[in-house]
Amino acid sequence: MNIGILLKEGPYNHQASDTAFKFAEAAIKKGHHVDAVFLYNDGVTNVTKLMDPPQDDRNIAARWSELSQKHDVEILACIAASKRRGISDDVLVEGSVITGLGTLTDIAIRNERLVTFGD
């Protein structure tokens, strides 16, 4: 099954980021294809190089970057949400890009499921 993910919450202040990541890992492990993760609203902050968590904490941005590189998953940040939060291409982790909201429609059309995490 081809799956798209929509993540609408930021890291560390809501369980949605961790749950979306674990869902993507589990789906891939079960043989499904995770096509793309679209980050919207505060979700765009999940992939910035600006986060610097303590050594004993998980690095959510690094997780998404690794997932992208290891499993060829597109990590896409909404341009409008990014601009509102002062995020540009140069602060994104490897494997993620800024794109338009129309891309979310494309993800919903080309995949069998679009799973949403966050409010």
| Residue 78 falls in the annotated catalytic set | yes
Instruction: Indicate which residue of 34, 78, 79, 107 is catalytic.
Output: 78
Structural element, H or E, at residue 11: none
Distance CA 91, CA 89 (A): 6
Q: Are 66 and 94 in contact (CB under 8 A)?
A: no
Catalytic residues: 78
